[in-house]
């Protein structure tokens, strides 16, 4: 596979000295879904805005489809599609009118507009609602219309910045299916997300960014395999008492078969060679030490565990309800 995107030592500093993106490097292969995973404020949206020419980088090198970002940003804009976190549709226009407007902004020949609009409405399952005002659409329908608008000019590379934020689980999974179908039809996709399950379900490869730095990268399966252990997560009844978690870590660390013990966000995680075998031993050992367990879970390694390993905490998802906006047209031209 050849590279659709090459990023080398990309840095973005906001005055006076806020380093939102800190010398990150990664590649995006042509034809894949690449996940860019991290919590709010990690640097995901800043990175995507630089790559889509909406924000000037401070330093570093970016090549997209063989085009140098510094030399020909206009050519990059013709190559890419971009759907941001905020929904960029006009509520006062119908779904069809929104897409026709995008066609005109992209200077599609007049004879192609109707067929392209109908094609996208069918693809996004919006044909029945095509002539209703977009303001009457549900959140999931608005998101699908927004994705359709980003696809008007058949971009080689589609940037999706947290495309399912604010959607309910049913609509979120529906959008996942559309993203997969777009990729199967040949579109390369750069996906930022704060949802671990979303990255696991969709991404062929991913990078995890935290505080502006990439802390891990690879396929979801390979990253989870690096954990190399089952995870026993413990919430303690007397967690507020001084030294309870410290004592718990000492007890767990003495059990043969536990490879690592890590504390985070009021819980304790033990990484075990065989969690199902060791759980009874863990319970007995803590009971002998006078430590009461409020809740215990056993699971295989997940991307959450990968994030915990590299950052020392689990990722919290901050739900934000997307806003509709008529000011977003320029972001795709």
Per-residue pLDDT, 317 = 66
User: Is the model more confident about 255 or about 195?
Assistant: 255
Residue 156 shares a structural domain with residue 170? yes
- Count of domains in the chain? 2
What does the pLDDT read at residue 101?
95
Mean pLDDT of the chain: 88
pTM: 0.79
Is residue 323 very low, low, confident or very high in pLDDT (cuts 50, 70, 90)? very low
Q: What is the pLDDT of residues 192-251, one digit of tens each?
A: 988 888 999 999 999 999 999 999 999 999 998 888 788 999 998 876 555 888 899 999
Which domain does 272 fall in, by range?
Answer: 229-300
**Statement to judge: residues 279 and 167 lie in one domain:** no
Reply yes or no on whether the pLDDT at 75 is more than 90.
yes
Q: Residue 322 — very low, low, confident or very high, per pLDDT cuts 50/70/90?
A: very low
DSSP string over 165-226: TT--HHHHHHHHHHHHHHHHTT-EEEEEES-HHHHHHH-SEEEEEETTEEEEEE-HHHHHHH
269: in domain: yes
Residue 259: CATH number of its domain: 3.30.70.100
Residue 250 covered by a domain: yes
- The residues with which 208 forms a beta bridge, in sequence order, are 37, 216
Of 162, 117, 172, the closest CA to residue 139 belongs to 172
Mean pLDDT of the 99-124 span: 93
For residue 277, which phi and psi values (nearest 5 degrees)? -75, -35
Strands across the sheet containing 205-210: 80-83, 157-161, 188-193, 33-37, 205-210, 213-218
Q: Looking at the structure, do residues 238 and 89 belong to the same domain, yes or no?
A: no
Q: How confident is residue 325, by pLDDT bands cut at 50, 70 and 90?
A: very low
Within a domain: 79: yes
Residue 284 lies in a domain: yes
């Amino acid at each position: 596979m050849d590279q659709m995107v090459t990023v080398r030592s990309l840095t973005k500093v906001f005055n006076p000295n806020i380093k939102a993106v800190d010398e990150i490097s990664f590649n995006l292969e042509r034809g894949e879904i690449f996940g860019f995973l991290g919590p709010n404020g990690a640097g995901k949206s800043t990175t995507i805005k630089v790559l889509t020419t909406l924000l000037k980088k401070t330093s570093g090198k970016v090549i997209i489809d063989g085009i140098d970002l510094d030399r020909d940003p206009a050519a990059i804009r013709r190559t890419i599609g971009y759907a941001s976190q905020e929904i960029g549709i006009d509520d006062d226009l119908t779904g069809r009118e929104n897409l026709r407007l995008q066609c005109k902004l992209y200077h599609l020949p007049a004879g192609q507009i109707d067929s392209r609009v109908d094609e996208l409405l069918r693809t996004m399952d919006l044909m029945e609602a095509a002539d209703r005002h977009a303001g009457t659409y549900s959140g999931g329908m608005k998101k699908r219309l927004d994705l359709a608008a980003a696809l008007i000019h058949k971009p080689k590379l589609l940037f999706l910045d947290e495309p399912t934020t604010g959607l309910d689980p049913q609509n979120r999974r529906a959008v996942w299916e559309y993203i997969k179908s777009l990729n199967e039809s040949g579109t390369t996709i750069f996906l930022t997300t704060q949802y671990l399950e979303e990255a696991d379900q969709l991404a062929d490869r991913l990078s995890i960014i935290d505080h502006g730095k990439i802390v891990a990268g690879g396929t979801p399966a390979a990253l989870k395999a690096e954990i190399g252990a089952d995870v026993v997560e413990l919430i303690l009844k007397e967690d507020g008492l001084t030294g309870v978690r410290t004592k718990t870590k000492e007890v767990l660390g003495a059990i043969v078969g536990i490879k690592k013990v890590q504390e985070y966000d009021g819980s304790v995680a033990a990484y075990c060679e065989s969690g199902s075998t060791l759980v009874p031993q863990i319970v007995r050992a803590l009971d002998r030490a006078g430590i009461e367990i409020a809740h215990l879970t056993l699971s295989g390694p997940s991307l959450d565990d990968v994030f915990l390993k590299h950052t020392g905490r689990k990722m919290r998802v901050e739900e934000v309800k997307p806003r509709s906006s008529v000011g977003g047209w320029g972001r795709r031209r």
